[in-house]
Structure 1
Amino acid sequence: MVRKTFKSMEDFAKACGVSRPTVAKYFSNPLDLKSATRRRIETVLKQSDFEPNSFVRHLNSKVVRNIGIIIPTIYDPFFAQFVSHIESSLRERGFWSIQISSQTRPDLEEEAVRRMLEFGVAGAIVAPLGNQSRPGVFDSLKNAVPTVSFDVPLGDDVPFVSNDHREGITTMVQYLCRSGEPPVLLEGPNLSDNALIRQDGYRDAMRAEEHEPIIINCDLEPSWELERVGYEQMRRLLAGGDLPGRTFLCSNDRLAFGVMTAASETGLKIGREPGDDLRVAGHDDHPLSRYVWPPLTTMAQDTDAIAHETVYQLIELLDAEALGITVPPRRMRIRSTLMMRKSA
């Protein structure tokens, strides 16, 4: 049977014998119509290939179903993981996402906020640039629609979901100290307060293990090219000829990739076997961590749990707004998992 084709919602409505607003109401919520009207529309629908544009449905619905997502970059697969989980969780609840990357630029982050307000999103999920964000850049957004942040907080008035950075670093320090010599912490640029939380956690964990903390701070210009930063940091240390230790804990996996490359170029062997020259560990479980050589020992953030909790808190805010009640903002930090691999 040849399926009927309709060029517009008006043509489809005419074939059903109903008005265009009635068809729009059906695609917004079929239960709003009488059963006889629903059957008329569904009969024609089964015989055709008609599917109204989702944006048209959105315009014809009193309930906005679009959620804005702002992230620092799509270049990093780590954020791509988060967005993928967030989109899936939103879709399960009948929402669609509009995603904008600030491309690690404060001016584009500010522009992203303006665009979300123009789109009239029902709510927003934001991973801010952190210390590079312009002051108050998200004020207009969080005052206009329910907003939740992940990875980096937006303030005490906004719900926030993140990895438990202190717990993760503590677990890694304990593992490295008890399986070999204590680690030196190699820092990257201070792009957000997460770096400071991890640094404090490292200090406390090292002292608890009765070792003196050794931190190599980053003196390079702030940059999101973290692999390059780790590479240059390690090249400088190797050029000095006297490494401060033989176990390096990098504050994130992307720094560790650069460190491992620089060490390997000079002939050093990375691993935890007898005779290996260096142990290298990271934090985050970047999607490439298990595929570099040797595979990187790291702490795995539970990106799925963080994303689903972020969406849950946003839905909670949207429901509260519909009921005219106020929900106190909650903060949640989710534990990570030690991934023991060949690098340490």
Structure 2
Amino acid sequence: MKEFSSVTGLSRPTVSKYFNDPTSVRASTRARIEAALEKYDYRPNFFAVNQNRRYPKTLGVVVPQFTDPFFAEMAGLIERATINAGYFAITLSSHGSPEDEARAIEMIRSLNIGGVILSPLGRESDAQAIMRLQDEVPLLLFDSHIEGLDTPSLACDNAQGVTQMVDYLCATGTAPCYIDMPEVNSTAGERRAAYVAAMDARGFEPMVLPPSEMSWRLEAIGAEVTRAALETGGFPSSTVLCANDRIAIGVLSTAQRAGLRIGRQEELRLAGHDDHPAADLTVPSLTTVAQDKEALAERAVKITLDMIATGQPPSAPERLPSRLVLRESA
């Protein structure tokens, strides 16, 4: 920075002011700096500039898994919304591990970050670490929340989406059994509770099949639950609702290998949740509940930036509606 200031003939504070906010200097000064940038191909150290900012233009983003299609897509959409708002995103993964989540939080705390969007593991999260983070920067919990923490949160309305799907399946065929997902975050409990409540409201006995393991191997869980069901005479219903599309894909593959026909008028109807990128490519294509991912990403960034600007959290948790996507499987 010192050498670059020298070749522009401007003071270091003036150049630094430009890098913090190009509009904060006069047009003639800005043109002079930008001409020197092009001539000398100079680029300031982003982290050094950001660390010195009173109001950093960076958001921290932590997701549970980069390998999960939903969170991979959401990380990209949040980054795009962040850039569109004039900020940059530093994205980390907790890899489904409480220890890695705590380390990611400590990494975020060591940086000069304007705000944080965190998708927590939930009951396995280190609540104290999250509280320390919330004490230091505006924090939004995304997609799931943590019981007992008064932290702003944003997610899809799991109760609305699951209830809509149960209504549809009951109206068009047999009431569904439900393949649960592991308690990897609060979403699992919300969707299970919504299924049970929807079945009770319609006078049907809930039929919940527990996951075969506590992991993010969701396709494998769907496959293993299906194999176990087929070995004992089949599913308790000819309609199967899965807590997650990845589970449904495991069910679809395993059931078809066993010779079962899947579809609206076939032996087995199958539905999922989340509208996986491959949901319309499976054979048959998968009926599911779609979250408005773009709206979730844009709203997450908007809420976080509003907290940065005002210093005030939103008054209540926010839930965005989902919609049914009817395809061939149910």
Q: Which amino acid aligns with 1:284?
A: D
Q: 1:277 aligns with which of 257, 267, 291?
A: 267
Q: How does 1:118-133 map to 2 (within 5 A)?
A: 118-133=110-125
Secondary structure at the aligned position of 1:137 is classed as helix
- Residue 158 of structure 1 corresponds to 151
Asked if residue 84 in structure 1 is aligned to residue 84 in structure 2, the reply is no
- Residue 318 of structure 2 corresponds to 332
- In 2 relative to 1, CA 179–136 (structure 1 residues): closer, same or farther, beyond 3 Å? same
Secondary structure at the aligned position of 2:128 is classed as coil
TM-score, reference length from structure 1: 0.89
Q: 1:196 aligns with which of 185, 189, 206?
A: 189
Could you tell me how far apart the structure 2 residues matched to 1:43 and 1:284 are?
48
Q: How does 1:1-344 map to 2 (within 5 A)?
A: 9-45=1-37, 47=39, 49-154=41-146, 155-218=148-211, 220-273=212-265, 276-321=266-311, 326-344=312-330
Could you tell me how far apart the structure 1 residues matched to 2:54 and 2:128 are?
30
Question: 1:62, CA displacement in angstroms?
Answer: 2.9
Question: 1:229, CA displacement in angstroms?
Answer: 1.0
Point out the more displaced range, 150-159 or 71-80: 150-159
Question: 1:192, CA displacement in angstroms?
Answer: 2.7
Point out the more displaced range, 152-161 or 182-191: 152-161
Could you tell me how far apart the structure 1 residues matched to 2:121 and 2:149 are?
17
Contact map agreement 2:70 2:276 (CA 8 A) in 1: yes
Contact map agreement 2:79 2:88 (CA 8 A) in 1: yes
Contact map agreement 1:159 1:313 (CA 8 A) in 2: no
- In 2 relative to 1, CA 22–163 (structure 1 residues): closer, same or farther, beyond 3 Å? same
- Residue 5 of structure 1 corresponds to none
Point out the more displaced range, 142-151 or 51-60: 51-60
Contact map agreement 1:25 1:61 (CA 8 A) in 2: no
- In 2 relative to 1, CA 38–190 (structure 1 residues): closer, same or farther, beyond 3 Å? closer
Q: Which amino acid aligns with 1:250?
A: C
Q: Spell out, residue by residue over 1:74-111, the C-alpha distance to the aligned partner (whole angstroms, 9 max, x if none).
A: 01011011111111111112111111111111111111
Question: 1:34, CA displacement in angstroms?
Answer: 3.6
Secondary structure at the aligned position of 1:343 is classed as coil
Contact map agreement 2:145 2:186 (CA 8 A) in 1: no
How much is the aligned-residue C-alpha RMSD, in angstroms?
1.9
Contact map agreement 2:222 2:249 (CA 8 A) in 1: yes
Contact map agreement 2:140 2:304 (CA 8 A) in 1: yes
Could you tell me how far apart the structure 1 residues matched to 2:120 and 2:174 are?
36
- In 2 relative to 1, CA 72–327 (structure 1 residues): closer, same or farther, beyond 3 Å? closer
Could you tell me how far apart the structure 1 residues matched to 2:168 and 2:244 are?
16
Point out the more displaced range, 165-174 or 208-217: 208-217
Could you tell me how far apart the structure 2 residues matched to 1:242 and 1:37 are?
75
Could you tell me how far apart the structure 1 residues matched to 2:53 and 2:68 are?
35
- Where does structure 2 lack aligned partners over 5 or more consecutive residues? none
Could you tell me how far apart the structure 2 residues matched to 1:125 and 1:201 are?
26
Question: How many residue pairs are counted as aligned between the two chains?
Answer: 329
Could you tell me how far apart the structure 2 residues matched to 1:291 and 1:250 are?
18
Contact map agreement 1:24 1:61 (CA 8 A) in 2: no
Q: Which amino acid aligns with 1:330?
A: A
Q: Which amino acid aligns with 1:139?
A: M
Could you tell me how far apart the structure 1 residues matched to 2:322 and 2:68 are?
19
Contact map agreement 2:180 2:208 (CA 8 A) in 1: yes
Point out the more displaced range, 194-203 or 90-99: 194-203
Contact map agreement 1:150 1:310 (CA 8 A) in 2: yes
Higher radius of gyration, 1 or 2: 1
Could you tell me how far apart the structure 1 residues matched to 2:314 and 2:174 are?
45
Point out the more displaced range, 299-308 or 39-48: 39-48
Secondary structure at the aligned position of 2:140 is classed as strand
Aligned sequence identity (%): 38
Could you tell me how far apart the structure 2 residues matched to 1:67 and 1:85 are?
13
Contact map agreement 2:152 2:317 (CA 8 A) in 1: yes
